[in-house]
């Protein structure tokens, strides 16, 4: 019997709406689809009648949860079932590597980017990674310069080492949860968030005690390790909530984990029942900042060329609308088109895994086409791995909405 809490599948009315909206089921017949692998097969699992190996194909994109009219958390069923399956069959080396990528990044955080990028992206390493199950054709993000990673870690937007540029807190303090992608590959996104918040009159702290949100561990079937991350982050979130300090993250997947997934995956953990309302996806927080006129968007100077926007699946799963494009649309003169083309196919680390690359690229094809047809040279998305995938599948540059807002507002990026 699984050590993880399981859910009653009887809320499912077998309408199959989730299957229609599942990008993986559309891209490959190897996956039985959310209705089958989720609630339908859960009945067999609960009765101890066996596992469904096709669960390995679920990308945890959450489109089933978003579309289910009965509110069934199909992806949660799948991730808990995958963890129980992996406990029995063993964890693949690639899932261990990806699952612990946040810990690896932390251990290597003092290593210069040129060393990391040569180490990860040369032909020999790619062949070795391919041997352990990471497809050599899949795009890997490049490590950011050490100086930028350091500045973000210190919560400082200044170049001077050890000095903080924290502004006097006219409006209070906020805590930044950068997430692993921003920490190691895109610290300029975090630095832009800090600069914008400071301009709006907030003091920003970047707590050292935050760790990886645990999502790569969940998708790799490493649920016990993910629970340890959830406990560590929840302790810090509870401490900050006690001080009345909101937490802001520019990563939609981290926001989803902190706000919803911990409690969905580990409902029996009382310590995870902290104030989720105090955790904010960064663009939605800035919509409030703009509504309260703490930051003027009227002076921003956008480019003449149009932009194109992609809404990450995990942002849509948060149920907050599309705050990134809404924020940019408030800049006078900025032209931006929403592709509304569904999942990009990367799904965090899904496409990196051997056997998933072609599926991911098939899923992303509609988005790539929409981006190319828009004629834009610059695409916008909140999710780091969506940005990697769009850059891989199109000729576009890709940026986070808040990096652009800072740039158009004349806020220096270093
Ligand atoms: S999980 Fe929801 S959407 Fe899927 S078949 Fe059941 S009721 Fe329908
Ligand atoms: S999480 Fe995504 S891939 Fe998995 S069943 Fe749901 S829609 Fe399909």
Question: What tens digit of pLDDT does each residue of 216-266 get?
Answer: 999 999 999 999 999 999 999 999 999 999 999 999 999 999 999 998 899
Ligand 1 closest atom vs CA 34:
4
Strand partners for 248: 176, 280
Residues 6+ apart with CB under 8 A from 345: 23, 27, 351, 359, 360, 361, 362, 363, 364, 365, 367, 389, 393
Alpha helices per DSSP H over 292-383: 313-318, 323-329, 357-374
Distance 21 CA to ligand 2 centre (A): 8
Establish whether residue 58 lines the binding site of ligand 2, counting it when its CB lies within 6 angstroms of any ligand atom: yes
Query: 337 alpha carbon to ligand 2 midpoint, in Å?
Result: 26
343 lines ligand 2 (CB under 6 A): no
Ligand 1, CB within 6 Å, residue ranges: 12-18, 34-35, 38-39, 68, 70, 72, 74
C-alpha 360/C-alpha 356 separation (Å) is 6
Q: What pLDDT sits at residue 5?
A: 65
Distances (CA, A) of 273 to 6, 237, 249, 269, 358: 18, 10, 19, 8, 39
Ligand at minimal distance from the CA of 35 is 1
62 CB within 6 A, ligand 2: yes
Centroid of ligand 1 to alpha carbon of 13 (angstroms) = 6
How large a percentage of the chain has pLDDT more than 70?
94
Ligand number with the minimum distance to the CA of 21: 2
Helix, strand, coil percentages (3-state) for the chain, rounded to 5, are: 50, 5, 40
Protein residue with its CA nearest to atom 6 in ligand 2? 64
Closest CA to 229 of 242, 245, 218, 238: 218
Put simply, whether the predicted model's pTM sits higher than 0.95 gets the answer no
Q: How confident is the model at residue 169 (pLDDT cuts 50, 70, 90)?
A: low
The DSSP output letter for 238 is H
Choose which residue among 30, 36, 63 to substitute to test ligand 2 binding: the one with the highest number of ligand atoms within 8 A of its C-beta: 63
Residue whose Cα lies nearest atom 1 of ligand 2: it is: 60
Residue among 70, 87, 67 at smallest CA distance from 79? 87
Residues 6 or more apart from 92 whose CB is under 8 A from it?
133, 220
Task: Render pLDDT for 24-82 as a digit per residue (tens, 0 to 9).
Answer: 999 999 999 999 999 998 888 888 887 788 999 999 999 999 999 999 999 998 999 99
């Amino acid at each position: 019997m699984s050590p993880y809490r399981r859910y009653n599948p009887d809320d499912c009315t077998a309408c199959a709406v989730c299957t229609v909206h599942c990008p993986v089921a559309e891209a490959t017949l190897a996956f039985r689809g959310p209705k089958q692998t989720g609630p339908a097969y859960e009945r067999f699992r609960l009765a101890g009648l066996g596992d469904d190996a096709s669960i390995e194909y679920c990308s945890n994109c959450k489109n089933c949860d978003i579309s289910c009219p009965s509110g069934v958390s199909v992806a949660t069923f799948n991730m808990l079932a995958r963890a129980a399956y992996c406990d029995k069959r063993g964890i693949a080396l690639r899932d261990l590597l990806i699952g612990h990528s946040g810990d690896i990044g932390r251990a290597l955080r003092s290593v210069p980017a040129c060393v990391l990028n040569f180490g990860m992206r040369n032909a020999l390493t790619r062949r070795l990674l391919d041997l352990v199950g990471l497809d050599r054709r899949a795009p890997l993000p490049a490590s950011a310069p050490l100086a930028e990673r350091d500045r973000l870690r210190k919560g400082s937007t200044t170049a001077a080492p050890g000095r903080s540029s924290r502004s006097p807190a006219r409006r209070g303090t906020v805590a930044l949860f950068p997430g692993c992608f921003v920490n190691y590959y895109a610290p300029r996104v975090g630095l832009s968030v800090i600069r914008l918040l400071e301009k709006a009159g907030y003091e920003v702290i970047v707590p050292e005690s935050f760790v990886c949100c645990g999502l790569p561990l969940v998708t790799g079937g490493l649920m016990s390790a993910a629970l340890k991350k959830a406990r560590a982050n929840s302790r810090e979130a509870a401490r900050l909530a006690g001080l009345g300090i909101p937490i802001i993250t520019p990563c939609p997947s981290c926001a989803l984990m902190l706000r919803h997934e911990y409690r969905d995956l580990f409902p029996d953990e009382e310590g995870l029942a902290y104030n989720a309302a105090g955790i904010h996806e960064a663009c939605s927080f800035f919509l409030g900042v703009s509504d309260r006129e703490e930051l003027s968007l009227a002076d921003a100077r956008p480019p003449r060329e149009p932009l194109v926007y992609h809404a990450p699946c995990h942002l849509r799963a948060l149920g907050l609308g599309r705050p990134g494009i809404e924020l940019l649309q408030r800049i006078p003169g900025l032209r931006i088109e929403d592709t509304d083309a569904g999942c990009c196919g990367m799904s965090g680390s899904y496409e990196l895994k051997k056997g998933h690359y072609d599926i991911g690229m098939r899923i992303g094809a509609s988005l790539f086409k929409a981006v190319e047809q828009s004629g834009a040279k610059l695409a916008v998305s909140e999710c780091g791995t969506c940005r990697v995938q769009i850059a891989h599948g199109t000729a576009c540059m890709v940026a986070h909405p808040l990096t652009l807002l800072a740039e158009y507002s004349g806020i220096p990026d270093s």
